[in-house]
Structure 1
């Protein structure tokens, strides 16, 4: 699955029409969620029941009927995605909160399936053909959507971001590019001091995008509260603040993407820790630095490129990788402030390099038993390998 994204250029009335379609999508999702909550426990509600209920909403509300029928159905599917995830977490007995579905207040996209839109065969323009009044939109971007068959386009999505509106195409194509084997193997230990340290001793500098822009971000945030509530000045200040965070998010994605592609392309086996980042974020002293490092985003891109290039990506348990000696296997207790691993066998390494070697050794053992991680991509606005419906809800 491939996702191509374009910036949308349109008139002010068209932007307002897109906003109306987005609000309608949110309304349908929340109504379907309320319908699921109100039915008796004995009644069985599934995806088909919610699709049927969305048809009833079209008959009841004119503004819902103005939205394309498949876009209405897609909105109901968003509600079912939240419900099914809750059921799955309960079934697997996930510890803590199970993710009970909540009403949405900040929806930013509307999704069409195979109808409700028409692509210009020569120019980069798309026409939304429902009764919301969106009309023809100009697409700005470097991708060549005309090179793909119209039948391969499974979803079209209009997205609102801090810097404008975007159009995304979900295309059903095989995105594989098998690379020749290099014979190299590498293990990673991610950290805050450096972005990662590999088993070869290389330390990648941490970009710290949020830390560098923090002064500017805080200044933009303070300006919001100096403006009167509901005023155009406050709205403008919020827009400036949102664009700053959007820029940081894009910098993180671009950094992780380039780094992961380079690493996977030059190695046959890539080993990394199977960290539960959301648990690490509970440490209020390190939460900001951990979030700024974006370790999980880096892992997602590694798994995606490993699947695309035909390489092996293995996630191993992080237990005792920092304490265990990579040379003799003896446990050497050390605190977080101790940055050098010194063992009685004579091994003296940087703490993170020692951990990276241990991670690589564990991955080699796991790969012999064919315990390969799922080498697929996930999360980002244009990240490949994830279903478009799942991307919409994130």
Structure 2
């Protein structure tokens, strides 16, 4: 298992210029690699391997001296991205999905570069990056483990971040404490409802910023393309989007940290969010809650802490009575579960969370545990 630490970096103006040039060189190499693969396939019907393309880099550098401004392994990693894009393309074709053929990157559309093995080194509150120098880093937490990979990224608001891929030295053996197990039903009325009866309200970050976003987008639509006023208006819109994204990201990580610290076993539904988000009535709300971000953050935190996270089949978790097992049909507007067989009446999300916990425990060989409050 590998962990990712993300930190804000504060490069000097010369370093920013060099990083911007590095992104442009990487973009050119990406487009050239894509063009090379496309041309060879059209002419011969054969696919160039990543290693064959890596061997072309020395000649490309000789033809384009600016390529030498970027660390050699970083350019190889760019070609790896093209190779990965084609692998995903062929996988989607095989599965009958919308293929999405790899596209060329326009100016400004390449926003990160990677040091896959070397070319970096931590120095107190700085990180050394080959061809760039020592860049100041705001370390907000301690790094534990060996750094295997470093990625530098520029956001739409021209902030710079560094992501450190770490291989932890010790990973605890997972142990289930039956006094610390929880089932979680994610939703829209409540962000999540737990099998012990607690719930977390939906913060609705996008809805809170929707009027402000509409205001700045109206201003943007009134500007003339190609003017400095339009560029400024675009930046304002990007800042609002970034603020919403940051709030959502911070909230998901706070909740996931709370869950991992408190419980040894956590069960979620294995939701097909891609299909759910196609519903025009709820697509905006589902996108705003970012369930997948919460589940992903909880999974990797739990793994490094020796806790267990399982995903269960969501089929009938809301319809089944958690006490007697009878299927009680409900529409999405029925918020209360009422069972005519056993008389159980409680919030439908609470009922679903209890079922999720039961299914989660069964998936690891534990038959049952009393999860509801008496």
Q: Distance in 1 between matches of 2:118 and 2:185?
A: 47
- Residues 1:231 and 1:253: Cα distance change in structure 2 (over 3 Å): same
Query: When the two structures are aligned, how many residues end up with a matched partner?
Result: 359
**Mapping of residues 360-371 of structure 1, within 5 Å:** 360-368=357-365
Residue in structure 1 matched with residue 335 of structure 2 by the alignment: 339
Mapping of residues 34-73 of structure 1, within 5 Å: 34-40=35-41, 42-73=45-76
Is 1:166 the counterpart of 2:167 in the alignment?
A: no
Tell me, in whole angstroms, the C-alpha distance in 2 between the residues paired with 1:288 and 1:36.
Answer: 38
- Report how far residue 144 of structure 1 moved: 5.7
Residue pairs, 1:119-158, within 5 angstroms: 119=122, 121=123, 123-130=124-131, 134-143=132-141, 152-158=146-152
Q: 2:175, 2:355 → 1: CA distance?
A: 26
Give 3-state SS (helix, strand or coil) of 2:364's partner.
helix
| Structure 1 contact 47–77 (Cα < 8 Å) conserved | yes
| Worse-matched range after superposition: 250-259 or 42-51 | 42-51
Post-superposition shift, 1:205?
A: 0.5
- For the residue of structure 2 that corresponds to 1:77, the secondary structure is helix
In structure 2, what is the Cα distance between the partners aligned to 1:4 and 1:264? 18
Q: Does 1:358 align with 2:352?
A: no
User: Where in structure 2 are there 5+ consecutive unaligned residues?
Assistant: 368-374
Displacement, 1:236? 1.8
Q: 1:175 offset after TM fit, Å?
A: 6.5
TM-superposed CA distance for 1:306, in Å, is 2.1
Output the CA distance in 2 between the equivalents of 1:126 and 1:243.
Answer: 27
Is the alpha carbon distance of 1:32 and 1:369 closer, same or farther for their aligned partners in structure 2, counting shifts above 3 Å?
farther
Quote the RMSD (CA, aligned, Å).
2.5
Residues 250-269 of structure 1 aligned to structure 2 (within 5 Å): 250-269=246-265
Deviations 1:354-377 (A, max 9, x none): 11112122112211199xxxxxxx
Query: In the TM superposition, what is the alpha-carbon distance from 1:312 to its structure 2 partner?
Result: 2.0
Alpha-carbon deviations, 1:229-250, whole Å to 9, x = none?
Answer: 2222222221222122112212
Q: 1:52 to 1:292 in 2, by over 3 A?
A: same
Question: Structure 1 residues 266 and 38, CA, compared in 2 at 3 Å: closer, same or farther?
Answer: same
Residue aligning to 1:300: 296
**Cα gap change, 1:186/1:278 in structure 2, threshold over 3 Å: closer, same or farther?**
same
Q: Aligned equivalents of 2:337 and 2:207: distance in 1?
A: 29
Q: Is contact 1:163–1:243 with CA below 8 Å preserved after alignment?
A: no
Is 1:319 the counterpart of 2:315 in the alignment?
yes
The 5 Å alignment of 1:169-248 reads 169-174=164-169, 176=171, 182-183=177-178, 184-248=180-244
